[in-house]
Chains A and B, each alone.
Chain A
Amino acid sequence: MSGENNKKDKRRFAGALGQGITHFFLILWAIIVIFPFYWMILTSFKSYASYNSEYVPKLYTLSPTVQNYLSAFTEVPLGRYFLNSVIFTVLTTAIMLVVITLAAYAFARMKFAGKNLVFTIFLSLMMIPNELVIITNFITITDLNLRNTFTGLVLPSVTSVFYIYLLKENFEQVPEELYKAAIVDGTSDFKYLIDVMIPVCRPTMVTITILKVIECWNSYVWPRLITDNSKYFLVSNGIQEIRENGFGRENIPAMMAAVVSVSVPLIVLFFIFRKQIMAGVSRGGTKG
């Protein structure tokens, strides 16, 4: 009897110990993840003088200042980079939504010769790496004199085969009877798409929108190739520009204020749409 109890106690102890060790390692990783964020926020509130006087960096500051944020938005054109990124993100996402919705609807609901063939070709395009096509796109956009324009920035990224595929799958789950009934009633395809399909599939559309917004906000390579006039820099390029030509002197705290400002919008977005983002990414998003 007591032996049985002993065994139970032992198991409970082992369980608690296991939980403890697991938590220890999870917290360790959490610190590694959070620390850079802590550091950028901390540094962004240190004054230029106090930062430079710390040979051994301090883990806290007693005299926080917002001067760095003022510098970031006045001494370098961070505000413009922000505005550019917002314009780029809104334009790209909006146009992409129109393009993929129409295409997904055609694949999901319409009947036409060669549908399967076209869809297979679309899917096979998913395997083509961006690095392979970006060279020609660079030359195309340059030849069209579209460098340093929003048109040039936006055009190559307004379609995504993966999102067409995702949306088509979702559209197909809407009962076909609805469609047949609507057609009998004389509703046009377009009206049916707007009034029924899009509202029903809103969750997927929201997920796609958020993932695209994240991608746009963080995009670096294409904007770097296509813009060399800082008037058209997006935030990623802006950060790089600030790093290399920055504040006239190496002003780390102001640089960190810029970094925090660039990071905040997406982190806020993440906290609002956490569930949708994580569900969307686990359905097949990969970074970059």
Chain B
Amino acid sequence: MKEKIKPWLYLLPAVLFLGVFMVYPIVDVFIYSFEEGYNSASQSFFGTGTFNYSYVLHDAYFLRALKNTFIIVIITVPLSTGIALLIALGLSSVKKIKELYQTVFFLPYVTNTLAVGLVFMLLFRKTPYTDGFVNMLLNALGMSTVDFIDGPYWAKMFVMCFYTIWVVMPFKVLILTSAIASVNQDYYKAARVDGTSEFRIFGTITLPMISPMISYLVITGFIGAFKAYSDEVAIFGTDLNSAGMNTIVGYIYDMLYGDSGGYPSYASAAAIILFAVVLTITTINLMVSGGFSVTGKAKK
């Protein structure tokens, strides 16, 4: 009898924590999203239905957050994956100080994004007292200065995407560099003996061999970019709505808590909409990249 209970005792803490903070919430969030006018103080609501969803989908703040998020996703995912691929290829071909490069490139991964975001804000900001570093560069190149933090929408979006790429790059470079390093060197030797050009070697050997990892990065990249939030706060501060740079996740948290908060039902509906979007995009990605087996392998 004791032997039968023992494994469960070992599992108990994990089961308990996962049950309370993952399984129960996932059920609960769906319930909240259909409860109209839920009040967290009195724990009461006056009806069920899809009103929360329609409220969220008609909320101008949500629509803007949706638009911002999609722009960030569409710009940063392909760009960061592409640049990471170039860097990884460069890294695998250099003979000297490769490890130094790798160490430097990995640095953003271990930094506090809130803290470094403040530096980016400083570099791009233009105030009456100073043009800031980036504008100094623009001036030197003969271009007119822009306030990237409080200025036009596309300037703000540029900083946002730039910072996002800066933050996600270490992970992608690391994954691609190890993928390239794990390609069997015999293929390359054979191709070189045959006199195949470097360009063709890349297209016919390297790319096919690392494509599972590329699709893994694209999929996780999409998921990560759809959840963009802290990087936005890091650059533009906590009031993302007034900066016009809010994201879906930012909208969820604003609904939950903060100056405009106290509406867990709206937050839940928005979270489920986000989840549905991410799920759809991920499924499409998986279908395009050739199915579950490939990513299953990649993930391991």
What residues of chain A have their CB less than 8 Å away from a CB belonging to chain B? 18-19, 22-23, 25-26, 29-30, 32-37, 39-40, 43, 52, 54-57, 98-100, 102-103, 105-107, 110-112, 115, 118, 122, 125, 128-129, 131-140, 142, 155-156, 158-159, 161, 164, 189, 214, 217-218, 220-221, 224-225, 235-236, 239-240, 243-244, 252, 255-256, 258-259, 262-263, 266-267, 269-270, 274, 277-278, 281-282, 284-288
Contact = CB atoms under 8 A, between A and B. Distances in A.
Chain B interface main SS type? helix
Contact of B86 (A25, A164, A278): A25
A132 B268 CA distance: 7
Centre residue among B120, B123, B274 by max chain A CB count within 10 A:
B123
Interface of B: 4, 6-8, 10-11, 13-15, 17-18, 20-26, 28-29, 32, 40, 83, 86-87, 90-91, 93-96, 101-116, 118-120, 122-123, 129-133, 136, 166-169, 171, 174-175, 178, 220, 223-224, 227, 229-230, 233, 237-238, 249, 252-253, 256-257, 264, 267-268, 271-272, 274-275, 278, 299
Given A263-B116, A277-B106, 14 more contacts: A33-B107, A39-B123, A56-B130, A57-B132, A107-B11, A135-B267, A189-B6, A220-B113, A221-B230, A252-B122, A255-B118, A258-B115, A269-B110, A288-B230
A168 to B, nearest CB: 11
Contacts, number: 250
A35 B83 CA distance: 18
Contacts of B10: 102-103, 105-106, 110, 189
Centre residue among B14, B32, B233, B264 by max chain A CB count within 10 A:
B14
A112 B118 contact: no
B13 A102 contact: yes
A178 B175 CA distance: 35
Contacts of B14: 99-100, 102-103, 122, 159, 164
Centre residue among A25, A37, A243 by max chain B CB count within 10 A:
A243
Chain A interface main SS type? helix
Given A33-B104, A220-B233, A131 B20 contact: no
Centre residue among B26, B223, B272 by max chain A CB count within 10 A:
B26
Given A125-B22, A136-B28, A255-B118, A55 B129 contact: yes
Contacts of A159: 13-14, 17-18, 21
B233 A240 contact: yes
A137 B237 contact: no
Given A239-B115, A267-B107, A286 B25 contact: no
A88 B209 CA distance: 42
Contact of A128 (B22, B118, B223): B22
A212 to B, nearest CB: 13
Given A40-B119, A136-B25, A220-B230, A266 B40 contact: no
B219 to A, nearest CB: 11
B157 to A, nearest CB: 19
A259 B120 CA distance: 12
Contacts of A158: 17
B29 A240 contact: no
